[in-house]
A and B are shown apart, each in its own frame.
Chain A
Amino acid sequence: MTSDSRARVLARIRAAVADAPEAPDVTRAYLPRHTADNPGGLLDLLHENLADYRAHVHRTPPDGVADLVARLLDERGARSVVVPPGLPEEWLAAAGAERRGDEPRLTPHELDGIDAVVTGCALAIAETGTIVLDGGLGQGRRALTLVPDLHVCVVRAPEQVVASVPEALPRLDPTRPLTWISGPSATSDIELDRVEGVHGPRTLEVILVTGP
């Protein structure tokens, strides 16, 4: 039945456009990026745009990550934390929270009982204030950054920071599950008042790691 429908839909499409003029090639006269090529400026822009959408943004050199992660978990009262496979061990070296691995896979209910998750990312987009996760090392599957209420995400600058959406896509692998995050979960469904935190993490802490 469905195969009949497939043939019917395709036949209808072909008949519908049979007399249509050929569509021209797409003109891509838009800009590949909207900001100057200057790594310091990009990092500031990323910082500003993340903060504008109510993410909390911090900067530290690499040797400050462990203390910062520990402090942020502490300040938010996180007593347990999910550790995605491949997360650099040193990032959690100073944290007191109980660590939970994801092997065997945590059930949704188990995840719901965990306070926080710490991850890396695939890249970050400065112009839109977006962090992209692709399930690679140190990020885990999508549910890990969804169910716990606090997400601490570490971005390595400058190598993981791109300026724009057109610069981001060629660096991503579409066969991986991708999650683009711009600020914490939010809704504007009630009289258009923005409220942070509906179903995803209510708090997004972003750590920009600068320097060598």
Chain B
Amino acid sequence: MPAFPEAARAAIGDPTLRANLRHATHTIRDKRARAVAELDDWAELRQAGKEIKDRTLRHLDTYLLQLEEAVTAAGGTVHWATDAAEANRIVTELVRATGETEVVKVKSMATQEIGLNEHLEAEGIAAYETDLAELIVQLGEDRPSHILVPAIHRNRAEIRDIFREKMGSWGRPAPEGLSDTPAELAEAARLHLREKFLRAKVGISGANFMVAETGTLVVVESEGNGRMCLTLPETLISVVGVEKVVPGWRDLEVFLQTLPRSSTAERMNPYTSMWTGTRDDDGPSAFHLVLLDNGRTGALADEVGRQALRCIRCSACLNVCPVYERAGGHAYGSVYPGPIGAILTPQLRGTASEVDASLPYASSLCGACYEVCPVAIDIPEVLVHLRERVASEGGKGHRLERAAVKAASWVLDRPAALAAGQHLASATRALHPKRLPGPGARQWSEHRNLPELPAEPFRDWWKKNRT
């Protein structure tokens, strides 16, 4: 995996990709702003969301134990996985025990993070992605590039070609004479996947939320593929990061207002499913919850970085990020792209590899991601913090940064002041890209038109404008 600057350079040189991304991110971001403006109490909802998550993280052990008890009492079985290998092993054994060799999947970042599909395939189990965008990615032997719309980098003509060429080898082929209208493409996906839903005995999902108090899991979606996977199979296996728990039933009132508006810019997404254990009269007769650590407790131990675990994966930060818009999701080398990926991935995986060490530099620190984040994660603050970490570790290929970071200590010594300045005035934002050091930022500048050099150094500006 190349470091971010290399990967981004390739993306920047691809005009189709850039056009697809620009269209998509700008469309969602404008709609999101309107959806958020409908709620007068957005700031209060955001504050409550932040506080609920902080409280959960501070007492994560208590809430996970409570969740385990409630899920078990409702007829489910809870498994704990310290890392990806263990989670994959648990899921494989559970599928094996059913005697099945294929499973249907609801889009889930956690299972992508652990490489579950690849693992299952190696074990002789076919895992079918059923979200339309994930299907496009899977058939195209591609990787997702956006949290919410994983095939955002593909346009309709590309999708039609993938369907025509690949559907037949996975099941029902694309209809003859398939055009590239979205309606026809969606219909082709419907037909292709329906036969899989109807015969599926095992479903695999993630969850957006887990309620400790009641043992309830929540999946938010649009297409109905989630509902198919959650209700038609006999066995349901949900792989969920430990940070997805919320303490109480009531807490959902905050996130069910902020998540849809932040992600798809809708008042509410078309479908939300909630289930608690198993029931004789509805849905799967066996339910397994696999609680996944895989680096999360490491992030939790970092007092600045732990706020990344508040993330509800709405993807709003991707859509406003100037770096994401140009580089695309693949450049981040992980299932978590964009600003959240730049702070989450190096914490989950560490900064030993070149790509992970370069991620904290994949940002202009413009602060837009913080402003849209519905749980108020101060992404710029964490980025600066992680840059310091990478620099102090003298990570592979990052000796340069250490020098650069020293030289830039005027800004990096004071992450809090820096963050405050970024959030304060958009006027300063334009100054940051070229002011910040490191190969990420430098190579970035080769591919964009930089604004005029500021007439005065930031520190002077800061003094004048703040005092």
Contact = CB atoms under 8 A, between A and B. Distances in A.
Contacts of A36: none
Given A23-B55, A190-B159, A199-B228, A9 B48 contact: no
Contacts of B303: 19-20
A10 B64 contact: yes
Contacts of A127: 267
A147 to B, nearest CB: 8
Contacts of A197: 186, 190
Interface in A175-199: 175-193, 195, 197-199
A11 to B, nearest CB: 9
Contacts of A192: 23-24, 27-28, 149
B438 to A, nearest CB: 28
B242 to A, nearest CB: 7
A141 B223 contact: no
Residue from B194, B198, B230, B271 having most chain A Cβ neighbours under 10 A:
B271
Interface in A107-127: 108-109, 112, 125, 127
A191 B48 contact: no
B72 interface: no
B293 interface: yes
A181 B132 contact: no
A200 to B, nearest CB: 3
Interface in B33-52: 38-41, 44-45, 47-48, 51-52
Contacts of A27: 44, 47-48, 51
Contacts of B55: 23-26
Contact of A178 (B79, B199, B274): B274
B283 A177 contact: yes
Residue from A27, A174, A175, A180 having most chain B Cβ neighbours under 10 A:
A174
Residue from A10, A127, A186, A191 having most chain B Cβ neighbours under 10 A:
A191
A135 to B, nearest CB: 6
B197 interface: yes
A58 interface: no
Contacts of B131: 189
Interface string A68-99: 00000000000000000000000000000000
Q: Which 7 A-B pairs give the minimum distances between C-beta atoms?
A: A200-B224, A12-B297, A199-B224, A16-B301, A128-B268, A180-B272, A141-B282
Interface of B: 20, 23-24, 27-28, 38-41, 44-45, 47-48, 51-52, 54-55, 57-61, 64-65, 74, 79-82, 86, 90, 130-133, 136, 149, 151, 155-156, 159, 182-183, 185-186, 189-190, 193-194, 197-199, 211, 214, 216, 222-225, 227-228, 230-232, 242, 249-254, 256-257, 260, 264, 266-276, 279, 281-283, 291, 293, 297-298, 300-301, 303, 306
Given A169-B250, A200-B223, 6 more contacts: A24-B51, A53-B266, A176-B276, A179-B273, A188-B149, A199-B197
27 contacts: A3-B80, A5-B81, A5-B82, A9-B297, A13-B61, A16-B298, A23-B55, A25-B55, A26-B55, A29-B47, A30-B44, A108-B232, A128-B268, A142-B283, A143-B232, A146-B227, A174-B276, A179-B271, A180-B268, A180-B273, A181-B270, A185-B270, A189-B131, A190-B132, A197-B186, A198-B225, A199-B197
